[in-house]
Amino acid sequence: MAVVIGVDSSTQSTKAAVTDAATGRILAVGRAPHVVTGEHGARETDPDVWWWALRDAVANGLKEADIAPEAVTGIAVAGQQHGLVVLDADGRPLRPAALWNDTRSAPQAAALTEEFGGPDAWLARTGSVPVASLTATKWRWLREHEPARAVAAVRLPHDFLTERLCGQAVTDPGDASGTGWYSTATGAYDPEVLDLLGLRPELLPAVAATGGTRAGSLTARAAAALGLPEGIAVAAGTGDNMAAAVGLGLGGAGLLDHPVVSLGTSGTVFTATRTRPASRDLAGFAATDGTYLPLACTLNCTLAVDKVAALLGLDREDAEPGGGAVLLPYLDGERTPDLPHATGLLTGLRHATSGRQLLGAAYEGAVFTVLRALDALLLACGLDPDDPEIAARPLRLIGGGARGRTWVETVRRLSGRPVLLPESGELVALGAAALARAAATGLDPVAVATQWDTGRGTPLPAVPRDQVTWNRLAQVLDEATPALLT
């Protein structure tokens, strides 16, 4: 049996999915934790921790699968987006990597936006307006706060690991599009943005055609560290959201304009499309297969609702529809809509309002916010959310919330759309495995995932949309926005 290894190197851990190359069946998943440090907005990890975790996760996966290392034909890494890794001339990290959720560069994001001519100028070039998560803002912060560092190379987290595997400095269009210095309009690094940042292009990795492009071969040193055969295919890899899209079979060789809703600590919506979006409400990412992957993110999702449940002394599933109560759980401010200083808002209480209804109202507020972001995403792709043909396409519901009954039912009730619950909980690792298979064979990675049927799941039919609750939430948000902005 030939196998490939798909690696999901996330913020908190590494997972290595040992996957049957012919069928896409996951034989085992090895795991190893990461360490995140920092306070007062700082979130950092030593990049060497990712390498050690990759080594351990691969070893654990092979052991659990009881597969001989000689069966492995390829490996690919999908990593957390946006992190800034700076290396010395010997390829060693100069400092801990600033992660995607490091917010110290918020002032730099605002300054860069204005220096380049405002949001529309950024959208026209890169597809995204600078925010603190983007790598470009972290690079500006580093230059202002640690100017003495002699940086010889700049990498994203997944680039760093790919280079350790094959010795080649390579990234892909998908993860590169989250840096802020890659133009989705031209498919290359933007020289004017690099000049603005004071970032020399020779510090950056080459951009492969796709994440499934063969970046190189596993070096003798990496093979010895991982216990794998020297010379196997190493894919260019991609970012975690892009790999999840591949794992769902979304892209040029699969489904296009089929929306995904991810319910995690934050809520995320994205779709693979041929339309290059440019909207202030979205991150205008590229997909790893040459299409586009516009994405919108809300800050308050499962964690915020769990907080409300804890305050009420209720289990997270001990909820019912909110009745007349409205609870917008903007406990950490909000990103979509752009209300960074917002706090949670509760209105519509009556003597008859129960704790279960208050918890249900928190679910409704979080889901409403995610679904409004979804409508904005579809419109940016030139799609009418109310078009019957578009509305009939099932929402692919992923993330931790997709395993919760109340989350699923609230999405169904407020969207009025059919829902598909993918069978696999390892879509990022499966997408990476498809990239590894593509690198080893020259096949299209989305076609590989489609053949494997990695996006299969349980379909749930549409239920009538709760328009009354939707309209009530929309009215409260629209009326409260001026106050929430202050």
Residue 410 domain-assigned? no
Q: What is the pLDDT averaged over residues 457-475? A: 97
Nearest by Cα to 164 from 213, 92, 109, 97: 92
pLDDT tens for 303-330 read 999 999 999 999 999 999 999 999 999 9
User: Is 129 among the domain residues?
Assistant: yes
CB 463 within 8 A of CB 358: no
Q: Is residue 196 part of a domain?
A: yes
Residue 299 domain-assigned (yes or no): no
Res 58 pLDDT > 80: yes
Catalytic site residue from 20, 159, 240, 466: 240
pLDDT of amino acid 482: 84
Please give the structure tokens belonging to residue 31.
């795991």
Distances (CA, A) of 241 to 55, 123, 148, 245, 295: 23, 20, 34, 6, 9
CATH number at residue 69: 3.30.420.40
Indicate whether 67 belongs to any domain. Answer: yes
Mean pLDDT of 33-51: 95
Q: What is the pLDDT of residue 477?
A: 93
pLDDT (mean) for 362-370: 98
Given a cut of 70, is residue 485 above it in pLDDT? no
Question: How far apart are alpha carbons 96 and 104 in whole angstroms?
Answer: 14
Using a 10 angstrom Cβ sphere, with 0-12 exposed, 13-18 middle and 19 or more buried, the burial of residue 114 is exposed
Q: For helices 427-441 and 445-452, give the axis angle rounded to 10 degrees.
A: 120
Q: What is the pLDDT of residue 20?
A: 98
The predicted structure's pLDDT at residue 317:
97
Q: Give mean pLDDT, residues 244-250.
A: 97
Query: What's the mean pLDDT in 158-170?
Result: 98
Flag whether pLDDT at 34 surpasses 80: yes
Would you say 351 is a known binding-site residue? no
Active site residue 240: yes
* Per-residue confidence band for 395, with pLDDT thresholds at 50, 70 and 90: very high
The answer on pLDDT for 336 being more than 90 is no
pLDDT at 101: 86
Compute the residue count for the chain. 486
Is 486's pLDDT higher than 70?
A: no
Residue 193: the pLDDT is 98
pLDDT, one tens digit per residue, over 275-310 is 998 888 899 999 999 999 999 999 899 999 999 999
Residue 15 in any domain: the answer is: yes
**pLDDT of amino acid 481:** 85
Q: What is the average per-residue pLDDT within 253-274?
A: 94
Residue 339 has pLDDT above 90, yes or no: no
Say if 105 falls within a structural domain: yes
Burial readout 163-202 (b: 16 or more C-beta within 10 A, e: otherwise): bbbbbbbbbbbbbbbbbbbbbbeeeebbeebbeebebeee
Q: What tens digit of pLDDT does each residue of 173-219 get?
A: 999 999 999 999 999 999 999 999 999 999 999 999 999 999 999 99
Domain housing 102: 3-242
Domain annotation covers residue 307: no
23 pLDDT higher than 80: yes
Average pLDDT over residues 123-138: 95
Q: Looking at the 3D structure of the chain, how many domains does it have?
A: 1
- How large a percentage of the chain has pLDDT more than 90? 92
- What would the mean pLDDT of 366-370 be, rounded to a whole number? 98
82 has binding-site annotation: yes
Alpha-carbon dihedral 261, 264, 266, 268, rounded to 10 degrees: -20
The sign of the dihedral angle between the CA atoms of 137, 139, 140, 144 is: positive
Q: Express as a percent the part of the chain with pLDDT over 70.
A: 100
pLDDT value, residue 483: 78
Query: Could you tell me which residues come within 8 angstroms of residue 236 by beta carbon, excluding any fewer than 6 positions away?
Result: 76, 162, 170, 171, 172, 208, 210, 211, 212, 213, 214, 215, 435, 439
